[in-house]
Chain A
Amino acid sequence: DGGITQSPKYLFRKEGQNVTLSCEQNLNHDAMYWYRQDPGQGLRLIYYSQIVNDFQKGDIAEGYSVSREKKESFPLTVTSAQKNPTAFYLCASSDLLAGAYNEQFFGPGTRLTVL
């Protein structure tokens, strides 16, 4: 089955710790994205990547870091510099084809809680 997987589903972090959220896709998509969702709100873009070894900051990149060493993988690290990291994190991917919808396909999400 083609799709996007995220792990873990639930993650608990102590203050001051860095944690890494995994995102893998087997859709052969060029672009991958990380979004943050706070309760009752829409999604906000953290980082995106259009190609291996390249990524761009989104609207709320402070306190986060990413890497894109392989086309199918786009892990997100939540660093201790992120002051309010408790949220639901969604990873997505899409094609970048001219003339196509290029809709984003989303993973099931990781719910991060800071203790």
Chain B
Amino acid sequence: AQKITQTQPGMFVQEKEAVTLDCTYDTSDPSYGLFWYKQPSSGEMIFLIYQGSYDQQNATEGRYSLNFQKARKSANLVISASQLGDSAMYFCAMRDPNAGNMLTFGGGTRLMVKP
């Protein structure tokens, strides 16, 4: 069974600074995908970034980058130059390729950006 762990229930970051949100995972399948989603207070889920288990390089998408350490089974999200609009819940998720592309989610981290 797949498992995703996010150990930081809440974090503060000063505007314009970088912040790292932790995510560790557990799976016995050699082929998997890792996703990060942002959930503002409105409740919608916004896709941020994807990392495949066979990708050689860490994924980047604008101000978002993924620090993928396969041996440690971690996929931490790095947000550079934080903005007030980054305040939200952030979820790490893993795709199960053997179960219809379903996602297993971590418990989330609430990020609060201070002006």
- The answer to whether B95 touches A102, judged by C-beta atoms less than 8 angstroms apart, is yes
Q: Is the interface of A mostly helix, strand, loop or mixed?
A: strand
| Chain B: interface residue total (CB-CB under 8 A) | 24
* A42 vs B108: C-alpha distance when bound (angstroms): 6
Residues of A within 8 Å of B43, CB to CB, are: 88, 90, 108-109, 111
Q: Is the interface of B mostly helix, strand, loop or mixed?
A: strand
B83-106 CB mask vs A (1 if < 8 Å, else 0) is 000000001010100011111111
- The answer to whether B102 touches A45, judged by C-beta atoms less than 8 angstroms apart, is yes
Residues of A within 8 Å of B4, CB to CB, are: 42
- The answer to whether B44 touches A106, judged by C-beta atoms less than 8 angstroms apart, is yes
Residues of A within 8 Å of B100, CB to CB, are: 31, 48-50, 56, 96
- The answer to whether B101 touches A42, judged by C-beta atoms less than 8 angstroms apart, is no
Identity of the chain B residue whose Cβ is nearest the Cβ of A55 in the assembled complex: B100
A94-B101 contact given A41-B107, A42-B106, A103-B35, CB 8 Å threshold: yes
- The answer to whether B103 touches A43, judged by C-beta atoms less than 8 angstroms apart, is yes
B28-70 CB mask vs A (1 if < 8 Å, else 0) is 0000010101000011111100100000000000000000000
Identity of the chain A residue whose Cβ is nearest the Cβ of B95 in the assembled complex: A102
Q: Which of B50, B105, B106 contacts A103 (CB 8 A)?
A: B50
- The answer to whether B105 touches A43, judged by C-beta atoms less than 8 angstroms apart, is yes
A42-B47 contact given A48-B100, A56-B99, CB 8 Å threshold: no
* A104 vs B103: C-alpha distance when bound (angstroms): 9
A72-115 CB mask vs B (1 if < 8 Å, else 0) is 00000000000000001010101010000111111111010000
Which residues of B come within 8 Å of A, CB atoms?
Answer: 4, 33, 35, 37, 42-47, 50, 91, 93, 95, 99-108
Provide 19 A-B residue pairs closer than 8 Å at the C-beta atoms, listed in order of the A residue: A31-B100, A33-B103, A40-B108, A42-B91, A43-B93, A43-B103, A45-B103, A45-B104, A48-B101, A56-B99, A90-B43, A101-B50, A102-B101, A103-B35, A103-B47, A105-B47, A106-B37, A106-B45, A109-B44
